[in-house]
């Protein structure tokens, strides 16, 4: 791989997002901790380096710093937020604490003569999130952007190709952020942008081959996009040493088991085992109402099923999961706070009976995983399936889970999916499902009073499932869905449509 950008991680929230933005420019990038040695950096041989943001203050004793020899390598560097402050501090500038925190979308004046801002509007909007700021420039640096309250919101040393911005170009709130990253990666670092997702797949498969050798591997296959892509990678890496386990925990949608069997049961390159585990999952979930408890129980139960299946196969060292990056951040690993414990990350038990859990897609976003799937030759329908969470309908039934509620939800959800597909809305809506709430309300049917469940419909449009907008489904289609569900499924007498986006809501209700 010729052209690479090295991202040095100082603990910010958006680090993988920076890597993703670089990959979007068709240049390979990797995120490494700030402790990376100069030898390692030389070996990596990057065309450019990006310092990420981070929560620390550079003037504190334990502030994270990387080896300042990095500034002598002759490689272009872009410092973002804390990364800019680290650059300033290392090269003789001064960083101070501001009297107030500048947070949110701010107007900035960009000097469009700088190569970093070439082709942009000089009046622009950027996302700021900082308390510290660069108060004095290092020698040979010039200011290239400022806001009303931050004089040095960006700087450059043209000769050395060092750049710094106090704002975050990697997030969508920075209107021309993408173009700034492109200017750095393409023009300043002088890359051609020839890298493609298939290289990621190729490289990962090689790494997996080397790591696993002739050991046995179990892959947790849910039939969704992520685990199907992970399984296909592993099948290419270790062939028949791979066994895929599909656990039917009884919390799947109507028709799901059949679909997974159709896609995987007869593949010649995959050893496939289906485990019927409905009773043990429902038993463990009996009476449980707390969403995080449900997630943890399901996460643990999955592992226990995998462990007992592994025992039947002899020695199995590795368990493969299709964990992707949003699962990791939302589960609160690293420094971010727990939004929800994804069953395959935060929901894992403390002790796991495998030598290691392998997650080849852990750094990728959903849409990137789909691209890898296409490169691996998976069918269009499979790759473009809407996501279905590992804990399944357990987190779409608010309150305790019973077989009766499961059956009601399965039927209602099936009708919703059928109508969305029949009306060709599935091309635009990225995820759609029904939620059985724990509320009962009064209705009237055939002159009789009813007292039945309230069902919520959810449909969102999103690229990466980290943020999402509710979908504006036409009223007449909503009306058909509502009528059909009330008429065809028993015990639902009222239907509402969820019109919140993410944030402030999440996509799933639990």
81 has catalytic annotation: yes
Spot the catalytic one: 3, 66, 81, 342.
81
**Cis-peptide into 503, omega within 30 deg:** yes
**Per-residue interface string for the shown chain with ligand XMP, residues 489-508, x marking contact by CB under 6 A:** -------------x---xxx
Write down the least CB distance from residue 218 to ligand XMP, Å: 17
- Asked if 373 touches ligand XMP (CB under 6 A), the answer is no
Scanning 5-13, 47-55, 335-343, 417-425 for contacts with ligand XMP by CB under 6 A, the matching segment is: 335-343
Considering only CA atoms, which of 253, 249, 108, 268 is closest in space to residue 173? 108
Contact 361, 226 (CB under 8 A): yes
Write down the least CB distance from residue 485 to ligand XMP, Å: 21
Scanning 26-34, 67-75, 195-203, 384-392 for contacts with ligand XMP by CB under 6 A, the matching segment is: 384-392
**Residue 255, phi then psi, degrees to nearest 5:** 85, -5
Angstrom distance (rounded) from CA 386 to CA 66: 41
Q: In what order do the strands lie in the sheet with 318-320?
A: 271-276, 242-248, 217-220, 318-320, 356-358
Exactly one of 20, 204, 342, 371 binds ligand XMP (CB under 6 A); that residue is 342
Exactly one of 134, 465, 470, 486 binds ligand XMP (CB under 6 A); that residue is 465
Q: For residue 147, what are the CA distances in angstroms to 8, 143, 165, 375, 433? A: 26, 11, 11, 44, 44
Of the pair 216, 295, the CB lying nearest ligand XMP is at 295
Q: For residue 261, what are the CA distances in angstroms to 273, 390, 413? A: 10, 17, 20
Of the pair 250, 389, the CB lying nearest ligand XMP is at 389
Spot the catalytic one: 3, 156, 170, 256.
170
342 has catalytic annotation: no
Write down the least CB distance from residue 191 to ligand XMP, Å: 32
Exactly one of 244, 389, 415, 434 binds ligand XMP (CB under 6 A); that residue is 389
- Asked if 458 touches ligand XMP (CB under 6 A), the answer is no
Applying the rule CB under 6 A, the residues between 292 and 321 that interact with ligand XMP are 295
Of the pair 92, 503, the CB lying nearest ligand XMP is at 503
Angstrom distance (rounded) from CA 352 to CA 359: 15
Scanning 95-103, 135-143, 146-154, 386-394 for contacts with ligand XMP by CB under 6 A, the matching segment is: 386-394
Angstrom distance (rounded) from CA 253 to CA 406: 9
Q: What is the DSSP string of 121-161?
A: -SEEEEEEEEEEEEEEPPTT-EEEEE-SS-S-SEEEETTTT
Where does 335-410 show beta strands of DSSP type E? 356-358
Of the pair 82, 365, the CB lying nearest ligand XMP is at 365
427: number of Cβ within 10 Å:
9
Of the pair 343, 491, the CB lying nearest ligand XMP is at 343
Write down the least CB distance from residue 298 to ligand XMP, Å: 8
Write down the least CB distance from residue 135 to ligand XMP, Å: 40
Angstrom distance (rounded) from CA 144 to CA 110: 6
Considering only CA atoms, which of 236, 243, 238, 204 is closest in space to residue 220? 243
Q: What does the angle CA 255 – CA 302 – CA 252 come to, to the nearest 5 degrees?
A: 15
Angstrom distance (rounded) from CA 200 to CA 361: 10
Strand-pairing partners, residue 409, are none
Write down the least CB distance from residue 386 to ligand XMP, Å: 8
Angstrom distance (rounded) from CA 271 to CA 237: 14
Number of residues that bind ligand XMP (CB under 6 A): 17
Angstrom distance (rounded) from CA 507 to CA 471: 12
- Asked if 391 touches ligand XMP (CB under 6 A), the answer is yes
Of the pair 67, 259, the CB lying nearest ligand XMP is at 259
Exactly one of 4, 294, 340, 491 binds ligand XMP (CB under 6 A); that residue is 340
- Asked if 470 touches ligand XMP (CB under 6 A), the answer is no
189 has catalytic annotation: no
> Which residues are known catalytic residues?
81, 168, 170
Catalog residues that contact ligand XMP under the rule CB under 6 A: 295, 327, 330, 339-340, 342-343, 387, 389-391, 431, 465, 502, 506-508
């Amino acid at each position: 791989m010729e052209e690479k950008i090295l991202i040095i991680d100082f603990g910010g929230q958006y680090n993988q997002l920076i890597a993703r933005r670089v990959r979007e420019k068709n240049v390979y990038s990797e995120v490494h901790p700030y402790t990376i040695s100069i030898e390692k950096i030389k070996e990596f041989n990057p065309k450019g380096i990006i310092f990420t943001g981070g929560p620390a203050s550079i003037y504190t004793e334990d502030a994270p710093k990387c080896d300042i020899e990095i500034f002598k390598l002759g490689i272009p560097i872009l410092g973002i937020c804390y990364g800019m402050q680290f650059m300033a501090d290392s090269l003789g500038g001064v960083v101070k604490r501001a009297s107030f925190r500048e947070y949110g979308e701010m107007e900035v004046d960009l000097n469009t003569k700088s190569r970093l801002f070439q082709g942009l509007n000089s009046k622009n909007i950027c996302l700021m999130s900082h308390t510290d700021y660069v108060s004095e420039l290092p020698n040979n640096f010039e200011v290239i952007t400022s806001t009303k309250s931050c004089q040095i919101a960006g700087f450059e040393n043209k000769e050395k190709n060092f750049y710094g911005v106090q704002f975050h170009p990697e997030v969508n709130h920075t209107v021309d952020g993408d173009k700034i990253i492109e200017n750095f990666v393409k023009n300043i670092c002088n890359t051609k942008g020839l890298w493609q997702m298939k290289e990621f797949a190729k490289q990962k498969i090689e790494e997996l081959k080397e790591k696993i050798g002739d050991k046995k591997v179990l892959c947790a296959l849910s039939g969704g996009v992520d685990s199907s892509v992970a399984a296909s990678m592993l099948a290419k890496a270790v062939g028949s040493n791979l066994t895929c386990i599909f656990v039917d925990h009884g919390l799947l949608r109507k028709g799901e088991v059949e679909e997974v069997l159709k896609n995987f049961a007869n593949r010649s390159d995959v050893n496939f085992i289906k485990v019927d585990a409905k009773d043990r999952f429902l038993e463990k979930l009996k009476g449980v109402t707390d969403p995080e408890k449900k997630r943890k129980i399901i996460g643990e139960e999955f592992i226990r099923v995998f462990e007992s299946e592994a025992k039947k196969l002899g020695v199995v060292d590795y368990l493969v999961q299709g964990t992707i990056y949003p699962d990791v951040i939302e589960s609160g690993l690293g420094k971010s706070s727990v939004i929800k414990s994804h069953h395959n990350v935060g929901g894992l038990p403390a002790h796991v009976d495998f030598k290691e859990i392998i997650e080849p897609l852990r750094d990728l976003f959903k849409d990137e995983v789909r691209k890898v799937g296409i490169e691996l030759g998976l069918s269009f329908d499979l790759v473009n399936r809407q996501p279905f969470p590992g804990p399944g309908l357990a987190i779409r039934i608010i309150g305790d889970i019973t077989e009766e509620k499961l059956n009601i939800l399965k039927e209602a959800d099936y009708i919703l999916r059928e109508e969305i597909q029949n009306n060709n809305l599935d091309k635009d809506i990225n995820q759609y499902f029904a939620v059985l709430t724990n509320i009962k309300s009064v209705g009237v049917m055939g002159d009789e009073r009813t007292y039945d469940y309230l069902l919520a419909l959810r449909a969102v449009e999103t690229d990466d499932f980290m943020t999402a907008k509710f979908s504006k489904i036409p009223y007449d289609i909503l009306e058909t869905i509502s009528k059909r569900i009330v008429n065809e499924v028993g015990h639902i007498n009222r239907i509402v449509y969820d019109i919140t986006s993410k944030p402030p809501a999440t996509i799933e209700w639990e």
